[in-house]
Chain A
Amino acid sequence: MPKKRTAGERSIDPASQQILIRADELGLDTAFSRADAMAACPIGMGRSGLCCKNCFMGPCRLTKEGQVGVCGATASTIAARNMARAIAGGAAAHSDHGRDIAFTLLAAAEGEAQGYQIRDTVKLQAVARHYNIPAQGKTTAALAKEVALKAIAEFGQQTGQLAFVQRAPNKRQQAWKRYGIVPRGIDREVVDVLHRTHMGDDQHPEHILKGALRCALADGWGGSMIATDLSDVLFGTPAPKVGQVNLGVLAGDEVNIVLHGHEPTLSEMIVAAASEPELIAYAQSKGAKGINLAGICCTSNEILLRQGVPSAGNFLNQELALITGAVEVMVVDVQCIMQALPNLAGKFHTKFITTSPKVMIEGSLHIEFDERRALDIAREIVRVAIDNYPNRGPVVIPDDVEDIVPGFSHEYINYMLGGSYRASFRPLNDAIMAGRIRGVVADVGCNNPRVTQDKSHTWLVREFLKRDVLVVQTGCGALASGKMGMVTGEAALEYAGPGLREVCEATGMPPVLHMGSCVDNTRILTVLAQMAQEGGLGDDISDIPAVGLAPEWMSEKALAIGAYCAASGACVIFGLASPVEYSGEVTRLMEEVWEKELGGKLLFASDDETILQRSLEHIDRKRAALNLPVYDPSRFGRSGDARMRALRALPLEARAEALYGGVK
């Protein structure tokens, strides 16, 4: 019987710990307890072996040196095929999210999407430029329609290359061409991987992985990028705002609606509906003070960044939110929704509502989303929640809530570093070149109940900040840092090394930049491409002293992201364990061959200290290759407001003399 972990071993988040204890008291299962009860299958991770179930001659389990499957497939072929299929699954999910957004944009442009409008025309024009669609003389609706149709066509495109490939640095595009992994279309690359990994097709590990990389690029520079860009067009490009995060955002005296999943489409309408006076009055008529929205997972990130809707937390908070007993309705769309939720909701008064045509879960109330009547559906859902408020039983809401300053789209970062007239990445590149910022780490990805929730994310982030590494985050990793108060301007004064602090004080930015949901990792690609183009840090993404991390990953989407980042030239390190470790050949392909051919790599390290050291080594190696000065924090830290605070603290008479140097 596996060991049952304490609340402190399950999560470092005090709010999570409090609710986990309550779950135990109420005898409720959670992913944490299920992970304790069910040890992960060793066949498929680590050195124990591999499993192939791509045909029914098996399933074949390879656990001995030199063993092959019934068809003769080697461990390396099986490892590569499994990896490729996982990447295709992740790419399919994220890209399909992009497709849905594109269809919503099309409906909005045609005036058939109730409640939607084109909020960011500047971004629309920028996307049109990427698609070589002339904007001049066109109405916003006409241009939006053309952009939407072009985006939709990218999914079904069969030959040539995806339009956004051109947004990568030239050298990067050349590397893709050379290695033969330029994505032709989005759907085609997913199908290609599923085909070539079918029984009896591609049985050459490097070749299988090439297909997987091309599929991942179709996601990163295709489907996901479409999702990010068109969401910005529809709902506005994020800019920093102050928000709150953690379970404490649930209200004791208001109708709580928790929005969980990944897409902004329906949730934006629920945000709109929840602020309608009639519905607020209706809520009050039921004894509630108002309507309180809270997000979970990446739907949360979407509406936190754009609308400032507070976040109840990341992936592993989804069950915990329900266990507070304070949730009238949990609405979900797609991805990362645990099947345990409807059953858990049933233990309370909570209504669990599925909305995606793709997602039904046994035991859920299904109110299918239809953009033509999106606002009406949103109102209906809000009413269900209000009607449910009087049924609320005992409630335990943790006090824990932290302020968070998210919203760092690459557009805003540009503006942040130079204002309306001088926007550029120059100050960021300069800071890295000077060594004030040692390098950049993108800490992204999921929570995983097999390890302590948020522990790896937040420990690594703290260690990097201390060493003047700028951290950018998306998805559940970003919310983890948010819960620990590391995503505010003040956090720079507390956590950042001297050089990074100077840059944060100069700009006002937090030392951790929250850039969006997990589909928004494409923003990181854009930032890296712009940094390469700005000059001084080489001329390709692979030259930049940067590392991508997913220390608590669990989903196929994470592997797709890791693969497109590696193919884009980044060094990517995943935590937990390696799903391909049993094949030394595949491990070597992903670490060494990819690095040689593409400058990037994807590797796995099971402990945080190793992740930290390997990241810093990579950053310092890249710095050295660029002939940048060796990182030396003692050279920095003089600028900032501290001396001013000392001066202002003096009595008025003393201040006059101190002005010329009484204060050191």
Chain B
Amino acid sequence: MSRYIATRAIRGANSIVNEFDSLLARALAERGPDLPLAFPNTAYSLPLILAITGQTVDKLGDLQPVLDTARQLLRPAPPDRRWTPYLGETLDAGMATLLAEEAIEAVRFAYDQQPEALPGFRLAGGTAFTNPEFQTNGDGHLNGPIDDIQLRTWGIQLVDGRMPGFAAIVGCAKSNEVAVKIVRELQRRNILTFLSGNVNGRSIIHQLMEAGVELGYDTYTVPFGTDTISAIYALGFAARSALTFGGMKGGQARDILLYNKNRVFAFVLALGEVDDLKYATAAGAINFGFPVIADTVIPEILPSGVTPYEHVVSMPFNLIEGADDLQRAERLVQKCIEVRGVKVKLAEVPVPVPYGSAFEGEVVRKADMRIEFGGKHSKCFEFLRMASFEAVEDGQVTVVGPSFADQPAAAAMDLGVVVEVAGRKMQKDFEPVLERQIHHFVNGASGVQHIGQRDITWIRLSQAAAGKGFDLKHFGAILHARFHADFGAIVDKVQVTIYTETAAFEAWLAQARAAYAERNVRLGNMTDESVEEFYSCTLCQSFAPNHVCIVTPERLGLCGAYNWLDCKASFQINPTGPNQPIKKSITLDPQKGYWAGTNEFLENASHQQVNEVAVYSIMENPMTACGCFECIAMVIPEANGVMIVSREDTSMTPAGMTFSTLAGVAGGGLQTPGIMGHGKFYLLSPKFISADGGFKRVVWMSSILKSQMAEQLQKVAEREGDPHLIEKICDERSATDAEGLVAFVTAKGHPALGMPPLL
């Protein structure tokens, strides 16, 4: 700290702790100590308080010791002369600030003052605040804290580098256009952006709202609140990432903070004048190793240590070199990235619209739509195949047929995207792996919405994107750039042909469908017994240091993002990367899924934390989990079966815990018999807990899974010899406790009841 910052931060800390004190006193008087306190949909109570103090806060009275801790951390501000050192004291004051801020927000939740109301505001796209109480439509209020579901959804992206880090923006930009540019630059780099704070009542949230920028989970740009206090949600998110993925427990404050310093690439960007509370909050963030960058004149703290690089950097906006404010904004963002040491992989994609993963979730509404391909009114497919070097001309993009220029607004037309790739290391098996990437790649363009795959692809293009000159050939440009950037190790040449001309379209569609069918057969025939080696996935070890996924043809990674073929391709791309082949070696137990090779690999890769894994069992040495799992399976002894909870399900389960709470038990790389995280599609595998009786053990399943995978599940039921099995499986609509579940399955005559006892 500089003495100036120390003085202001300590002053800010004292006043926010006093505010917490009087708010607590008032609330205790009005509502009593038993008033329940909680942030929605999190298993981590008030996460920062839990992380730092180890204390679980459930009700108002629990805040008293938090206040005491905060008070103990406060010291007087350094005097103008003859000061004693203040860095440690300022960091402590920052921590007191964070404790107070989180406590204040918790009380505000209890008073229905959070998430903050903002009339006329609408959260972007499909995201709505996931607390059932707030399940309106995302209108009229800001986001408030990130819930556990979203944290886990982003988890895999944070670990695999698709999302390099997060920016906590506090304040108000110099102008609306600067605000937009800053956010666009961050989105372009896939940096998650949290917005809070204001300067003289005006927040960057107001600025972006006026400029029509979509804010919400889907655009990676989440508005927390228009006051500085709401910035605490960013640090709660950081604290939870250590608890969720790092296997740490509440109270391991130092470890949690160091985890963030070493693994979570985040920074604070203070826009506009910095007041006492912002200095105090920034001091709190520095405890996490997050640096602070300001666009105004403030004292700089360039020596490193608590943060990996500079602690506080001031880039007065007018002094940034640049032709105009937009260029200055761009340089400001570049500086932020440099100061935090964020690693950004940026493929330059030559399209006339902003491009980045942050735009992947963007929704194009009918009203804003220029044209759509696929959906109800037209057909659309995408097909990738390997070809000989001679047959592919790299970078060639051909459009066969008319463009959409002559179509009326919001019309629909047929579209076929055929990608041909050549490469020395390319294999036929990689075709579907690469083909599935088209979804992510195309979606990255701002104003383009991509859903589905193969012949159920559905693409929408917004008026805005078309207005900027986005045309059919740009699909090809995107695919060419991204395949080279992301799969350069196996792809040497890429050529794209776009078909809108009817005859050619139909001919290629038929050819594609034949290929899809052939691939299905090949994939369907691929069993664990038919291969010599499995693959490891230790991608998440950057977050969960001891977790190892073992990915087999019949058991995909628990995050759902990596199947056996993906891992095989990934190994080709990066031979020393997180996906390594595991020779099965001697089969020790084919029923439970023990191999000498998997055990040996696991012991090393888990750093001797886990010695054995039964790949097909939940009861005996089940596979560990990082925290990114799509589903959790848990044994319900009363029903002699297992329940499957989806990440998207926020309801109570027969285990007496919600997904969020269960996730705390299942994650962190620990082996807990009876509970296991897994990928959604593992449910369909014949090897799904086959050692324990297989799919017939499933007695309860989140209804969202039933509806999402209705068709496939029906096939599984038939495979298991009980075509009516699915309707015998209970869900949250019928029972959320064990008694109700037992009654349900008994009434339905579920086969699990007649199976050998699980325990």
By a beta-carbon cutoff of 8 Å, the part of chain A in contact with chain B is: 239-242, 403, 405, 407, 415-424, 426-431, 434, 436, 488-490, 502-503, 505-509, 636, 638-641, 643-644, 647, 658-664
Contact = CB atoms under 8 A, between A and B. Distances in A.
Contact of A420 (B78, B95, B301, B304): B95
Q: Which 3 A-B pairs have the closest CB atoms?
A: A427-B305, A419-B91, A661-B316
Contacts of A661: 297, 316-320
Given A421-B253, A422-B257, A661-B297, A639 B318 contact: no
A503 B84 contact: no
Contact of A507 (B87, B295, B302, B317): B87
Interface in B1-31: 1-4, 6
B287 interface: yes
Contacts of A417: 87-88, 305-306
A662 B319 CA distance: 8
A643 B273 CA distance: 15
B527 to A, nearest CB: 49
B240 interface: no
Contact of A641 (B4, B92, B273, B317): B4
Given A416-B85, A507-B86, A508-B78, A639 B297 contact: no
B174 A503 contact: no
B381 to A, nearest CB: 52
Interface in B79-136: 81-92, 94-95
Contacts of A422: 91, 254, 257-258, 287, 306
Given A405-B83, A431-B303, A661-B318, 18 more contacts: A417-B306, A419-B90, A420-B88, A421-B91, A421-B287, A422-B257, A426-B306, A430-B303, A430-B305, A489-B3, A489-B84, A503-B303, A507-B87, A639-B303, A641-B3, A644-B2, A647-B297, A659-B296
Interface string B735-758: 000000000000000000000000
B316 A416 contact: no
B1 A418 contact: no
10 contacts: A240-B84, A241-B84, A242-B82, A407-B84, A416-B85, A421-B52, A489-B82, A489-B83, A659-B273, A661-B316
Nearest to A513: B85
Given A505-B2, A643-B299, A418 B82 contact: no
Nearest to A489: B83
Contacts, number: 158
A664 B88 CA distance: 29
B696 interface: no
Contacts of B573: none
Contacts of A644: 2, 4, 297-299
Contacts of A239: 84
Given A422-B254, A426-B305, A640-B300, A415 B82 contact: no
B73 interface: yes
B311 interface: yes
A420 B92 contact: yes
Nearest to A490: B81
Interface string B542-577: 000000000000000000000000000000000000
B91 A662 contact: no
Given A422-B257, A664-B319, A508 B1 contact: yes
Contacts of B52: 421
B311 A506 contact: yes
B87 A419 contact: yes
Contacts of B305: 417-418, 424, 426-431
Contact of A418 (B86, B91, B300, B303): B91
A506 B303 CA distance: 7
Nearest to A418: B306
Contact of B304 (A403, A415, A430): A430
Contacts of B317: 660-661
Nearest to B253: A421
Nearest to B296: A659
B87 A420 contact: no
B172 to A, nearest CB: 12
Q: Number of contact residues on B: which range applies?
A: 35 or more
Nearest to A662: B318
A331 B230 CA distance: 60
Contacts of B253: 421
Of the listed residues B84, B85, B314, B320, the one surrounded by the most CB atoms of chain A closer than 10 A to its CB is B85
Interface in B48-102: 52, 73, 78, 81-92, 94-95
Interface in B341-355: none
Contacts of A663: 297, 316
A54 B380 CA distance: 104
Given A418-B88, A489-B84, A508-B3, A502 B303 contact: yes
Interface in B289-339: 295-306, 311-312, 314, 316-320
Nearest to B317: A660
A424 to B, nearest CB: 8
Nearest to A664: B319
B657 to A, nearest CB: 30
Contacts of A427: 87, 303-306
B301 A421 contact: no
B87 A508 contact: yes
A524 B207 CA distance: 54
A253 to B, nearest CB: 24
Contact of B296 (A488, A638, A660): A660
A638 B85 contact: no
A664 B316 CA distance: 9
A419 B88 contact: yes
B82 A508 contact: no
Contact of A240 (B6, B73, B85): B85
Given A419-B95, A508-B78, A644-B298, A434 B2 contact: no
B3 A660 contact: no
Nearest to A428: B305
Nearest to A500: B303
Given A427-B306, A660-B316, A661-B316, A419 B2 contact: no
A639 B316 CA distance: 14
B82 A403 contact: yes
Given A422-B254, A502-B302, A416 B87 contact: yes
A420 B302 CA distance: 21
A377 B257 CA distance: 51
Of the listed residues A407, A422, A490, A503, the one surrounded by the most CB atoms of chain B closer than 10 A to its CB is A422
Given A421-B254, A508-B85, A643 B297 contact: yes
Nearest to B93: A419
Given A502-B302, A505-B3, A423 B316 contact: no
Contact of B84 (A419, A508, A636, A641): A508
Nearest to B94: A419
Contacts of A426: 305-306
B574 to A, nearest CB: 28
Contacts of B254: 421-422
B244 to A, nearest CB: 20
Contacts of B299: 505, 639-641, 643-644
A141 B455 CA distance: 79
A122 to B, nearest CB: 14
Contact of A638 (B6, B300, B318): B300
Contacts of A421: 52, 91-92, 95, 253-254, 257, 287
B301 A506 contact: yes
B295 A660 contact: yes
Contacts of A503: 303
Of the listed residues A407, A423, A644, the one surrounded by the most CB atoms of chain B closer than 10 A to its CB is A644
Contacts of B314: 643
Contacts of B318: 660-662
A419 B82 contact: no
Contacts of B306: 417-418, 422, 426-427
Of the listed residues A418, A429, A430, the one surrounded by the most CB atoms of chain B closer than 10 A to its CB is A418
A52 B746 CA distance: 103
A663 to B, nearest CB: 6
A646 to B, nearest CB: 9
